[in-house]
Structure 1
Amino acid sequence: MTIRGENLLITGAWLLGVGSLMDTIGQTQQAFTHSDLGKDLIIKGNGIEAFGNSLQAIGRTKLLKSEKELSQIYAIFGAWLEAAGNTSNSVGVSIDMNGAEEEGINIDTLGSGVQGLGAAFEAIGASLEEDSSYRTLAITGNSFISLGSFLEAIGNIYVINEKNVMGDQILLVGSWIQFIGAMILINAITLEVEHMEHDENKKNENGDSYPYSYNNYSFTKYLSAAHT
């Protein structure tokens, strides 16, 4: 069965939300205990986010109709950067937990910076889209993720300079801003997929409905479409 690009976008968005929530819970535990408590969740959360970013990049690549679609090129490039950044975050925190604190934090800081840059590229890509119900939400969600990521990089710099309390507080704020951005992005991508469905239905001259609807989902219809 061929997995549709729309499916990958939706799945990736929800994984991004779940991973961001886990990261936020972990950062909250760490900020209030000033210990390694919560770092396991941070590692897993960033790993899930990286997987979600990768699915989004693959999904947008499958949906890419022309190399002239500059908005989608920006979004694909940004999603891959975010995946690389989140992966670096997971690796950095793991190294930190295994005793190489300075090296781990440096890698984590770099990862947050790369993730912030990737989300900024996605926000730029969204701004190049035609005016739609999801455009503003996509810009806002990605901007929040970008801001939160850069704040996490700044928080790590404070920790490196042994200003742990302030650093943990900035990390906490950054993680919550990212989580809010991820929730906004889920809504944006859901609306984007619905927009794609609407366009597909308009092009369908024989009146058949779109095989995968997030508004009126039919599991039987989906299985039927998968086997044809």
Structure 2
Amino acid sequence: MDHAGEELLITGAWLLGLGTLSAAIGQTHATVTRTKKGKELVLKGNGIEALGNSLQAVGRSKDPNPASAESTYYYIMGCWIEAAGNTTNSVGIHVELNESEEDGWRIDALGSSVQGLGAAFEAVGASLAADTPARELDMTGNSLVSLGSIVEAIGTVFLLQELEEAGEHILMIGSWIQVIGAFILIRAFSMEAENEEDGERRTFSFYNRGR
């Protein structure tokens, strides 16, 4: 992968981490206070996550290695699906806050489900990638983001069933699972970049010795 692609992946990962953290803090505030306070932060967090996913999709598209084509396909598809899910979440929360609470919850449940599917595709992409020290972290991080998203979708279903207290607590749990997954991904992408830089330095050193 070229340098620009690596930069986009790492930037996207940090945005994903920032977005999930913002959403988790907002959801925790809403759960603890039992009010809509904090939901604006959840809305903004999902928007930041969508931007991070989009940057990662573009970064993945810059991988010219034919050997990783199948893995890259799953990564790119997963990133765009996840971005769509996060965007849908933002729309759902906006509707919840400004129009119809129930309609917003339905849209939010759909968005979380789509986000979970996208992260699952990324986990598959990681499983097909070359065996590196970052691979296991990549798989684990995306799996946790997927799990957290599905837990959030379940929480929203509880809200629709008029089990609001339980639903809000499930949403909070799901949001923090995503935070853990996102920060594992930051570490994975950082390790991947460090390994590639080490490989380039070793190649350069070997070439110079050969001369």
> How far off is 1:33 after superposition?
1.3
What residue is the counterpart of 1:81 in the other structure?
81
Q: Please, which runs of 5 or more residues in structure 2 have no aligned partner?
A: none
Moved more, 129-138 or 14-23: 129-138
Aligned residues: 207
Q: CA deviation at 1:121?
A: 0.6
Residues 82 and 115, structure 1, Cα contact 8 Å, conserved in 2: yes
Within a 5 Å distance, the mapping from 1:88-167 to structure 2 comes to 88-167=88-167
Whole-Å Cα distance in 1 between the matches of residues 40 and 197 of structure 2? 39
Return the offset for 1:199. Answer: 3.3
1:99 maps to a residue whose letter is: E
Answer whether contact 2:158 2:167 (CA < 8 A) is retained. Answer: yes
Structure-to-structure mapping, 1:190-205, within 5 angstroms = 190-204=190-204
1: distance between equivalents of 2:29 and 2:196? 40
Deviation at 1:21, TM superposition (A): 0.5
Whether the 8 Å CA contact 2:152–2:171 is kept in 1: the answer is yes
Residues 67 and 73 in structure 1, CA contact (< 8 A), matched pair in contact too: no
| In 2: Cα distance, 1:87 partner to 1:66 partner | 31
AA aligned opposite 2:59: G
Q: Taking structure 1 as reference, are residues 28 and 68 closer, same or farther at Cα in structure 2, changes over 3 Å only?
A: closer
Q: Which residue of 1 aligns with 2:187?
A: 187
Segments of 5+ residues of structure 1 without an aligned counterpart are 209-228
Supply the AA of the counterpart residue of 1:187: R
Q: Mark the CA change 1:35 to 1:64 in structure 2 (over 3 Å): closer, same or farther.
A: farther
Distance 1:171 1:126 in 2: 27
Give the distance between the partners of 1:154 and 1:206, measured in 2 at CA.
Answer: 54
Q: Is the 8 A contact 1:151 1:174 kept in 2?
A: yes
Q: Residue 66 and residue 130 in structure 1: after superposition, are their counterparts in 2 closer, same or farther (change >3 A)?
A: closer
Q: Write the distance in 2 (CA, Å) between the matches of 1:139 and 1:206.
A: 32
* Distance in 1, Cα, partners of 2:15 & 2:62: 19
Give the secondary structure class of the aligned counterpart of 2:35.
Answer: coil
Residue 206 of structure 1 and its aligned partner are, at CA, apart by: 8.7
* Matches of 2:3 and 2:129, distance apart in 1: 24
Report how far residue 79 of structure 1 moved.
0.7
Contact 2:20 2:178 in 1 (8 A): yes
The one-letter code of the counterpart of 1:101 is E
Tell me which residue corresponds to 2:12: 12
Percent of aligned pairs with the same amino acid: 54
For 2:118 and 2:168, the matched residues in 1 are separated by 23
Deviation at 1:11, TM superposition (A): 0.3
The CA deviation string for residues 180-215 of structure 1, in whole angstroms up to 9 with x for no partner, is 00010100011111222233334547969xxxxxxx
For residue 102 of structure 1, report the CA deviation from its aligned partner. 1.4
SS at match of 1:69: helix
Note the C-alpha offset of 1:110: 0.5
RMSD after superposition = 1.8
- In 1, the alpha carbon distance for the partners of 2:130 and 2:65 equals 16
Question: In the alignment, residue 24 of structure 1 is paired with which amino acid?
Answer: A
| Structure 1: distance between partners of 2:64 and 2:104 | 37
Aligned-pair CA distance for 1:66: 2.9
1:3 offset after TM fit, Å? 7.4
Q: TM-score, normalised by structure 2?
A: 0.93
1:170 is aligned to 2:173: no
Report how far residue 50 of structure 1 moved.
Answer: 0.4
Asked whether the 8 Å contact 2:20–2:49 carries over to 1, the reply is yes
Q: Which residue in the other structure is 2:24 paired with? A: 24
